[in-house]
Chains A and B, each alone.
Chain A
Amino acid sequence: MTGGETSGALVAEVVSERGAFRLEAAVRVDRGEVLAVLGPNGSGKSTLLATIAGLIAPSRGEVRLGERELARSGSDGRRTVATAVDRRRIGLLGQESLLFRHLSVLENVAFGPRSQGLRAGPARTEARHWLERVGAAEFAARRPAELSGGQQQRVAIARTLAARPELLLLDEPFAALDVPTAAAMRRLLGELCAETATPTVLVTHDPLDAIVLARRAAVLHDGRIAQIGTVAEVLGHPATPFVAALAGVNLALGVATARGEVQLEGTDGARLVLSSGSTAADAAARPAVGRAASAVFSPGAVHVAPVHEGTQEASAAPVANRWFGTVSLLQPAPGGVRLTTVEHPELAIDLPGAAAVALDLQPGARFAFSIAAEEVTVRVRD
Chain B
Amino acid sequence: MTETPFAPGPAPSPPSSRSPSPSRERIGAHRAIGVPGALLAPAAIGVAVLALPLAALLLRLDWSAVPAAVTSPAAVEALTLSLVTAAIATGCCIVLGVPLALVMARASRRTAAVLRTLVTLPLVLPPLVGGIALLALLGRTGLFGESLALLGVRIPFTTTAVVIAQVFVALPFLVISVEGSLRAVGTRFEAVAASLGARPFTVFRRVTLPLVLPGVLAGTVLCFARALGEFGATALFAGNTAGVTRTMPLAIYTAFNGAGVSEDTAIALSLMLIGVAIAVLLVMRGWREDAPR
Residue pair B15, A101 in contact (C-beta under 8 Å): yes
Residues of A near B206 (CB, < 8 A) are 100, 111
- Find out whether the CB atom of B196 lies under 8 angstroms from the CB atom of A159: yes
Taking the nearest CB of chain B, how far is it from the CB of A37, in angstroms?
18
Complex-state Cα separation, A116 to B188, whole angstroms: 20
Restricting to B173-220, which residues have a CB under 8 Å from any CB of A? 188-189, 191-200, 202-203, 206-207, 210-211, 213
Check B188–A85 contact: CB distance below 8 A.
no
For residue A92, CB closer than 8 A to chain B, the reply is yes
Report A83-94 CB contacts with B as 1/0, cut-off 8 Å: 011111111101
Q: How far is the CA of A245 from the CA of B194 in the complex (A)?
A: 37
Complex contacts, A98 vs chain B, CB 8 Å: 188-189, 192
**Is A79 on the interface with B (CB-CB < 8 A)?**
no
Q: A86-B198, A111-B206, A115-B199 are in contact. Are A143 and B292 (CB under 8 A)?
A: yes
- The answer to whether B18 has its CB under 8 Å from any CB of chain A is yes
A100 with B189: CB separation less than 8 A:
yes
Question: Quick one: which of A88, A90, A115, A165 contacts B193, CB cutoff 8 A?
Answer: A115
Question: Does B19 sit at the interface, judged by CB under 8 A?
Answer: yes
* Structural contact, A111 and B211, CB atoms closer than 8 A: no
Q: Within 8 Å CB of B140, what residues of A?
A: none
Min CB distance, B186 to chain A, in Å?
Answer: 10
Chain A neighbourhood of B195, CB < 8 A: 53, 85-86, 88, 90-92, 163, 165
Bound: A101/B211 CA distance, A: 8
Q: How far is the CB of B215 from chain A (nearest CB, A)?
A: 13
Contact B197 A100 (CB under 8 A): no
The listed residue (A92, A102, A145, A146) touching B192 by CB distance below 8 A is A92
Chain B: CB-nearest residue to A100: B207
Beyond A100-B207, A100-B210, A145-B15, is A92–B197 a contact (Cβ under 8 Å)? no
Given contacts A100-B207, A100-B210, A111-B206, contact A163 B15 (CB under 8 A): no
- Whether A145 lies near B19 (C-beta < 8 A) is yes
Residues of B within 8 A of A102 (CB): 210-211, 213, 293
CA separation between A88 and B196, bound complex, in Å? 9
For A143, the chain B residues whose CB sits under 8 A away are 15, 292
Q: How far is the CA of A90 from the CA of B194 in the complex (A)?
A: 10
Q: Which residues of B contact A86 (CB under 8 A)?
A: 194-200, 203
Q: Mark B1-38, 1 if CB is under 8 A from A, else 0.
A: 00000000000000110110000000000000000000
Residue of A nearest to B210 (CB): A102
Does any Cβ of B come within 8 Å of A305's Cβ?
A: no
Q: B residues within 8 A CB of A145?
A: 15-16, 18-19
Which A-chain residue is minimally distant from B17 (CB atoms)?
A145
- Which residues of A270-325 are within 8 A (CB) of B? none
Known: A98-B188, A100-B210, A102-B211. A111 touches B16 (CB 8 A): no
Find chain A residues with CB under 8 A from B192 CB: 92, 98
Interface of B is mostly: helix
Hey, which chain B residues are within 8 Å of A112, CB to CB?
Answer: 196-197
Give the CA-CA distance A366 to B219 in the complex, in Å. 71
A55 at the binding interface (Cβ < 8 Å): yes
Nearest Cβ on chain A to B54's Cβ, whole angstroms: 37
Q: Which of B210-250 contact A (CB under 8 A)?
A: 210-211, 213
Q: Do A85 and B292 contact each other (CB < 8 Å), given the known contacts A102-B210, A111-B206, A163-B197?
A: no
A329–B18 Cα gap in the complex (Å)?
Answer: 46
For B279-293 the 0/1 string (1 means CB < 8 A from A) is 000000000000011
Closest CB of chain A to B15's CB: distance in Å? 5
Alpha-carbon distance between A100 and B206 when the two chains are bound, in angstroms: 9
A residues less than 8 Å from B19 (CB atoms): 145-146
Bound form: Cα–Cα A178–B202 in Å: 35
Smallest Cβ distance from B12 to chain A, in angstroms? 11
Residues in chain B near residue A92, CB distance under 8 A: 191-192, 195
Complexed CA–CA distance, A47 and B211 (Å): 26
A91 to B197, CA, bound (A): 9
* Known A100-B210, A101-B15; contact A111-B196, beta-carbon cutoff 8 A: yes
Binary CB contact string for chain A from 108 to 135 against chain B (1 if under 8 A, 0 otherwise)? 0001100110000000000000000000
Chain B CB count within 10 A is highest, among A100, A103, A165, for A100
B200: chain A residues at CB < 8 Å are 86
Residues of B within 8 A of A116 (CB): 197
Distance in Å: Cβ of A236 to nearest Cβ of chain B: 34
- B196 partner residues in chain A, CB cutoff 8 A: 86, 91, 111-112, 115, 159-160, 163
Q: Which residue of B lies closest to A112 (CB)?
A: B196
Closest to B14 in A: A101
Closest chain B residue to A96, Cβ basis: B188
Q: Give Cα A184 to B240, complex, Å.
A: 72
Report Cα–Cα, A86/B213, bound state, in Å: 24
Q: How far is the CA of A160 from the CA of B189 in the complex (A)?
A: 13
CB neighbours of A53 from chain B (8 A)? 191, 195
Q: Mark A23-56, 1 if CB is under 8 A from B, else 0.
A: 0000000000000000000000000000001010
Q: Which residues of A contact B18 (CB under 8 A)?
A: 145
CA distance A90 to B197 in the complex (A): 9
Contact A115 B292 (CB under 8 A): no
Measured CB to CB, the nearest residue on chain A to B192 is: A98
Measured in the bound complex, the distance between the Cα atoms of B199 and A111 in whole Å is 12
Give the Cβ gap from B23 to chain A, nearest Cβ, in Å.
9
Pick from B19, B195, B203, B213 the residue with the most CB of A within 10 Å.
B195
**A contact residues around B193 at 8 Å (CB):** 100, 111, 115
Known: A86-B203, A100-B211, A145-B18. 11 other contacts (CB 8 A): A55-B191, A86-B195, A86-B197, A90-B195, A98-B189, A101-B211, A111-B198, A111-B206, A112-B197, A115-B202, A160-B196
16 A-B pairs, CB-CB below 8 angstroms? A86-B197, A87-B197, A91-B196, A92-B192, A92-B195, A94-B188, A98-B192, A100-B193, A100-B211, A101-B15, A101-B16, A102-B210, A111-B196, A145-B16, A160-B196, A163-B195
